[in-house]
Amino acid sequence: NSGITEPETILKQSKEFNDKGIDISTIGVGQQLDFDLLRRIATYGRGSNYFIGDAEEDIQKTFKDELESLLYNIGKKPKLTINLPEGMNIKTFYGYQPKYISNHEIEVELENLDCGQTQIFLMEVEKNELENSSITASLVYEKNDEVKNISSKKEYDEMTETTQQELKKNFQIAKMTTALKKAAKDFSQTNMENSKKSMQNIISYYQSFCDKNDEDLKRIYNIALKYSSGQRTKSYY
């Protein structure tokens, strides 16, 4: 590489653009990349963080989605706050790393709300047998110098994952992309054994649980399949 390669210097320079109101998205292609640096740039820059393989269709789709999202901005500086009832515990987060306000309240800074863009925040929770099982969430964002607030309240449903197909798909995508990002990070740190293990976990999970006709799930699977060298696995087209 030529030019500046020191992560903190790159972050400092990207922040100068952020301070001028310029959002920055990052796109990681292949495996030889500094995933943590790309994630931090996108997080600080209120942009999107993409990780894709080097297949031409994946690259085209990512750039197309990113450009379309810039055509119309719905809101800036969105912040999601979730309140859990007493006795409900969080097991795992997917998509974003929240900040704990208290034992039962978390806060998540999201990417800017752009046209055609979907942001998914998933978490696995478990609860005791309590009367109150309501989860409340509020989304605050800026639009035309005004602060907007949207609130929602839902009852905990332990069967949601299996009864709502769209949520089930999002959950599967979250698990697979989390493993894919971990594989990329391990690869960049030359931890080849862990990287290969994560790829194999994606392949096994897809073959065991996922809808083979779903193009989004299939795309993640084929990326893992491509980079998991020497494995005798079946490709889906």
**What is the reported pLDDT for 71?**
67
Whether 138 shows a pLDDT value over 90: the answer reads yes
Q: How many residues does the chain have?
A: 237
Please write the tens of the pLDDT for every residue from 29-61.
Answer: 766 677 778 878 887 777 777 777 666 777 777
Average pLDDT, the chain: 78
What is the distance between the alpha carbons of residues 98 and 83, in angstroms, rounded to a whole number? 12
Q: Please give the sequence-ordered ranges of beta strands (E in DSSP) within 14-127, or none if there are none.
A: 24-29, 46-52, 73-83, 88-94, 99-102, 105-109, 113-114, 122-127
**What is the reported pLDDT for 237?**
44
**What is the reported pLDDT for 115?**
67
Please write the tens of the pLDDT for every residue from 164-205.
Answer: 777 788 888 888 888 887 887 787 778 888 888 888 889 988
**What is the reported pLDDT for 230?**
46
The predicted model scores a pTM of 0.54
**What is the reported pLDDT for 109?**
85
> Do 43 and 8 touch, CB atoms closer than 8 A?
no
**What is the reported pLDDT for 234?**
44
**What is the reported pLDDT for 133?**
75
Please write the tens of the pLDDT for every residue from 88-104.
Answer: 877 777 767 788 888 77
Residue 171 tokens read as: 């959950």
Give the three-class secondary structure for 80.
Answer: strand
Looking only at Cα atoms, what is the longest distance across the chain?
61
- How does residue 81 score in pLDDT terms, banded at 50, 70 and 90? very high
